[in-house]
Amino acid sequence: NAGVTQTPKFQVLKTGQSMTLQCAQDMNHEYMSWYRQDPGMGLRLIHYSVGAGITDQGEVPNGYNVSRSTTEDFPLRLLSAAPSQTSVYFCASTRDSGNTIYFGEGSWLTVV
Amino acid sequence: LAKTTQPISMDSYEGQEVNITCSHNNIATNDYITWYQQFPSQGPRFIIQGYKTKVTNEVASLFIPADRKSSTLSLPRVSLSDTAVYYCLVGDGDGGTSYGKLTFGQGTILTVHP
């Protein structure tokens, strides 16, 4: 069982570059989300989706875009990377909001 | 959604029972209580979920008093490998309106000593 798969695991970007973090889940979950976790901090919600074609902003959406064209995929786009976006990014999915949330293994992003 | 409050950190020793309490004074009727565990460099993983009274699985127990304004995660006989961050989440199962409001907070850093 693949669960939630994130790529890449590690990435170094220069300030101003753009990139996309990929996330895919094979559990047919309707709900997906992206979190960022800074050192010593809890997870903060960036964007989330409650189904294909539906996305919404979380707590810290600025500088990020998402789309949900299929149930399986939920990519996160950094439009113009900034050093403040250096963080660990986690993608997650769940069948519905009251159920177990499954997380990917994380993507370590450094912006220099 | 209900705001949760947990201790920032706790220390224990191998073989001891550890109880981590989470306060959620504004919990709603439909809200479930879920605990997650996060090891360094990994995503959080589900430990246990409950609605009321007591729930037990192979990893932990969850105690929820009648008023449901708090919950206690109990880890029996901890080992060094239980050193992790533990998060308490409160949310309902009614669908999308609450999903975007689920917040993990800073969690409780549990350190188990030899």
The pLDDT tens digits for B49-71 are: 999 989 999 999 999 999 999 99
Cβ atoms of residues A66 and B1 within 8 Å = no
Predicted local confidence at residue A32, as pLDDT:
92
What is the residue whose two structure tokens read 């004074």?
A: B25
Q: Which chain B residues are closer than 8 Å to A94 by Cβ?
A: 99
Question: Torsion angle of alpha carbons B90, B92, B96, B98, nearest 10°?
Answer: -40
Q: Which chain A residues are closer than 8 Å to B1 by Cβ?
A: none
Residues in chain A with pLDDT < 50?
Answer: none
Q: What are phi and psi of B82, to 5 degrees?
A: -85, -5
What is the residue whose two structure tokens read 């009614």?
A: B94
The chain-wide mean pLDDT, for chain B, equals 89
The alpha carbon of residue A49 and the mean position of all alpha carbons in its chain are separated, in whole angstroms, by 11
Nearest to residue B80, comparing CAs of B6, B4, B11? B11
Predicted local confidence at residue B100, as pLDDT:
64
Cβ atoms of residues A70 and A85 within 8 Å = no
Residue B30 confidence class, pLDDT cut points 50, 70, 90: confident
Q: Sheet holding B45-50: strands in order across? A: B9-13, B108-113, B84-92, B31-38, B45-50
Q: Is B50 part of the contact surface with chain A (CB cutoff 8 Å)? A: no
Cβ atoms of residues A60 and A48 within 8 Å = no
The type of residue at A8 is: P
The more confident residue out of B48 and B99 is: B48
Residue B29, min C-alpha distance to chain A (Å): 13
For the segment B79-85, the average pLDDT, to the nearest whole number, is: 97
Which two tokens mark A78?
């950094």
CA separation for the pair A34, B46 (Å, rounded): 17
Report the residue of chain B nearest A103, measured CA to CA. B43
Out of B99, B106, B107, name the one closest to residue A31 (CB): B99
Residue B43, min C-alpha distance to chain A (Å): 5
Predicted local confidence at residue B106, as pLDDT:
79
Nearest to residue A104, comparing CAs of A73, A79, A70, A62? A73
Cβ atoms of residues A19 and A107 within 8 Å = no
Chain A / chain B CB contacts < 8 angstroms: 74
- The b-or-e profile of A84-96 (16+ CB within 10 A means b, else e) is ebbbbbbbbbbeb
Q: Which chain A residues are closer than 8 Å to B99 by Cβ?
A: 31, 33, 48, 50, 94, 96-97
Q: Which chain A residues are closer than 8 Å to B45 by Cβ?
A: 103
- The b-or-e profile of B11-43 (16+ CB within 10 A means b, else e) is ebeeeeebebbbbbeebeeebbbbbbbbeeeeb
